[in-house]
Amino acid sequence: MGMTMTQKILAAHAGLDRVVPGQLIRAKLDMVLGNDITSPVAIKEFDKAGFHSVFDQRRISLVMDHFAPNKDIKAAEQCKISREFAKKMGIVNYFDVGEMGIEHALLPEKGLVCAGELIIGADSHTCTYGALGAFSTGVGSTDMAAGMATGEAWFKVPAAIKFNLTGTLSEWVSGKDVILHIIGMIGVDGALYKSMEFCGDGLKSLSMDDRLCMANMAIEAGAKNGIFAVDERTLAYMKERVDRPYTVYEADEDAEYEQVFDIDLSSIKPTVAFPHLPENTRTIDEVGDVSIDQVVIGSCTNGRLEDMETAAKILKGRHVAKGVRAIVIPATQKVYMESMKRGYLEIFIEAGCAVSTPTCGPCLGGHMGILAAGERAVTTTNRNFVGRMGHVDSEVYLASPAVAAASAVTGKISGPAEIMK
């Protein structure tokens, strides 16, 4: 029996010819990632274990993005710990205010992750980099500490689920709608500790921003990782950013999958996840009349340039509904700058939006858009658990940038087709 993409990457990094689901392996790491919340914990464990140096100063990335720019004294102290550690260890890829971006948008943009690599990060959405054909997964801060010191980590090889994509996305439908559709179909534990592997002719319809969004939310189905077959679009993306050799792995024809799902992209409609789980999905024509108080367009899921472009198309010449707060957060400085050059920021501001410097901010209830009791938000982020963006009695609705922007204009959950006639 052959191996899947994920299994081939793990086998190669473990120095093995073959691995099978459930096998425990020790594998070499290409990148270890931490942020301003998880890095201080890892640094404490690193010091407690008696480590004095990191395995490779260029293969560690520390990104200050969750509570940065610092929202309070505790946040400032967390960044200070990370900053001093990076300086002491000579870590090259340390990103702070003015140079940072939301970590899972920043690393692909800078070419720090690519096809065939094995990446761990002390953040659950590290699975984002599977969009490039890499194996990437979230770990705890203790594993991050060990990874920084040794350049290795233990893994249990996951079984796989195959998603064969066909067809073409309809207008105003994006990768966010696709992954919400899938999570609604299989549930938040439908891929528990599995590898979600995406392939098929339908990949041609998905931009890299679509794929990064979809891989990002694999964890919301319980997956160990999400990974996309590498095609010409992937190679073109990496050619512009990656300056080192890499390996493209393809699944064997006889690779074993626990399940196979065939998904026609042309059948997918704009989709919204209602509180309080990403699996609680409804298509836009099933939503009903749901008034809102806030809209957030950004995050490691949907803060990339295409997301800004989509929102700008809908908001141009329109204004945010009275009583609604709309916040737009470009995911990186590069996205921010390009959005400014293209006039998107002017469109957002004229429409009555607040535009923020890159930050995770409201996604995890950090800052820049906390919800009060009874308030509802439509957001392009990735989680809508109880209290995720503020008060436990608030409600979070997950949607694409198109739906979020349209909802900002109407003051209720709306599809873009309703206002783009």
Sorted by sequence, the CB contacts under 8 Å of residue 133 that are 6+ apart come out as 5, 114, 115, 116, 227, 228, 229, 230, 234, 248, 249
Q: What is the pLDDT of residue 1?
A: 79
Alpha-carbon separation of residue 228 from 80, 136, 170, 279, 406 (angstroms): 37, 12, 21, 21, 30
Q: Distance (Å, rounded) from C-alpha 231 to C-alpha 354?
A: 37
Which own/partner contact pairs does 73-79 have at CB distance under 8 Å and 24+ positions apart?
75/36, 78/36, 78/37, 78/39, 78/40, 79/36
Q: Distance (Å, rounded) from C-alpha 147 to C-alpha 153?
A: 6
Averaged pLDDT for residues 255-280: 97
Q: Same fold for the domain at 5-265 and the one at 269-414?
A: yes
Q: Indicate if the pLDDT at residue 236 is higher than 80.
A: yes
Q: What is the pLDDT of residue 419?
A: 84
The pLDDT > 70 percentage for the chain reads: 100
344 token code pair: 């998107």
Q: Distance (Å, rounded) from C-alpha 8 to C-alpha 243?
A: 23
303 token code pair: 């803060």
Task: Return the ∠ at Cα 379 (arms to 63 and 101), rounded to 5°.
Answer: 15
Q: What is the pLDDT of residue 418?
A: 83
Averaged pLDDT for residues 50-69: 96
Mean of pLDDT over the chain: 96
237 token code pair: 């993306």
Q: What is the pLDDT of residue 207?
A: 97
Domain ranges of the chain: 5-265, 269-414
The pLDDT > 90 percentage for the chain reads: 97
Fold category of 5-265 in CATH:
Aconitase; domain 3 (3.30.499)
Q: Distance (Å, rounded) from C-alpha 348 to C-alpha 344?
A: 6
Q: Indicate if the pLDDT at residue 141 is higher than 90.
A: yes
Q: What is the pLDDT of residues 167-191, one digit of tens each?
A: 999 999 999 999 999 999 999 999 9
Q: Indicate if the pLDDT at residue 291 is higher than 90.
A: yes
In 3D, which of 296, 88, 268 has the Cα closest to residue 180? 268
Q: Rounded to the nearest 5°, which phi and psi values hold at 54?
A: -100, 160
Q: Distance (Å, rounded) from C-alpha 16 to C-alpha 7?
A: 10
Q: What is the pLDDT of residues 16-31, one digit of tens each?
A: 999 999 999 999 999 9
Q: Which residues pair with 155 in a beta bridge?
A: 25
Q: Distance (Å, rounded) from C-alpha 119 to C-alpha 20?
A: 20
Q: Distance (Å, rounded) from C-alpha 274 to C-alpha 258?
A: 29
Q: Indicate if the pLDDT at residue 113 is higher than 90.
A: yes
Q: What is the pLDDT of residue 420?
A: 81
Fold category of 269-414 in CATH:
Aconitase; domain 3 (3.30.499)
Averaged pLDDT for residues 386-399: 95
pTM greater than the 0.85 cutoff: yes
Q: Distance (Å, rounded) from C-alpha 179 to C-alpha 398?
A: 11
